[in-house]
Amino acid sequence: MKQRKLGARGPVVSAIGLGCMGMSHGYGPAAPVGEMIELIRRAHAMGVTFFDTAECYGPYANETLVGEAVKPFRGEVVLATKCGITFENGAQKLDARPEVIRRSIEGSLTRLQTDHVDLYYLHRVDPKVPVEEVALVMKDLIDEGKILGWGLSEAGPKTIARAQAVCPLAAVQSEYSMMWREPEERIFPILEREGIGFVPFSPLGKGFLTGKITPDVKFGAEDFRVNVPRFDRENLEANMRLVEFVAALASAKGKTPAQIALAWVIAQKDWIVPIPGTRRLERLEENLGAAEVEFAPDEMAELNARLAAIPVKGYRYKGEFAKRVAE
């Protein structure tokens, strides 16, 4: 597996990481723990050194799963987890108070069976807590050796700049794919200028860019995509034009649509490390194969021009979740 450095202050990791959320949370009932431990260990055997989780995935179950899975080779991998989303009467609540972050890191260290977290994100910006206060507690955690670096998830340029001024960020995480390119204009300039790495989640468009989702798909009640406007039937039908384009490109290069979509993300900047998730070994092997796909400069220029001409219908969040994207 190829390696790359996650920004100026981030760690060196595999060019493709593994997002572990879907093993326990978000895409229907949790998968069998034993099978997921084996999948994570197979990923490591295939060269993956970057694993992403969060305390709210499950909640808490995903960190426990990841901690057990990587225990035999903890020193060989980079663990990323997140704080700032708590639960009240079963509902998610943003809470980034310093005392909550301190309590959260202790829980994460226990569940991950480790004495430090390599990359610790604020999962969502809490409008009630100045990001400068978050940066100060993260600085303290770095000084104490409990985390090696910190990051923000779904933060905008203003928030990134304010945080960066107090305690430099290792990485920022946000959705990014052929289907959602807003980060290119919104946050890439500040990330590049400040040497901050970028970790795209949903680099396969929440499964859409794999070509496996059809306009008549029906998601289960526990699959969060039932509440994503992009997957409303009318929008799905309109967005099939993008799927068809990716499929045609994949066929021409002798690759799969998922490999083309992931390779495109990797090719945009050398400080980008996507974290596609899966529960299946064959999909893991397919995704990791994207690290070997390359585009010539003229090929990429034409690809991007054609992508720009394909509109994507439907936002990626709605309701309360849409408000959690900071400025």
DSSP sequence for 147-212: BS-EEEES--HHHHHHHHHHS--SEEEEE-BTTB-HHHHHTHHHHHHHTBEEEEE-TTTTTGGGT-
What number of other Cβ atoms are within 10 A of residue 74's Cβ? Answer: 15
- Residue 286: phi, psi to the nearest 5? -65, -50
Nearby residues of 58 by Cβ (< 8 Å), 6 or more positions away: 24, 25, 30, 64
Tell me whether residue 176 is one of the annotated catalytic residues: no
**SS3 state of residue 80:** strand
Contact of 133 with 126, CB cutoff 8 Å: no
Whose CA is closest to 24, among 284, 291, 174, 222? 222
Whose CA is closest to 60, among 45, 89, 82, 88? 82
The single residue of 57, 120, 121, 176 carrying the catalytic annotation is: 57
| Residues annotated as part of the active site | 57
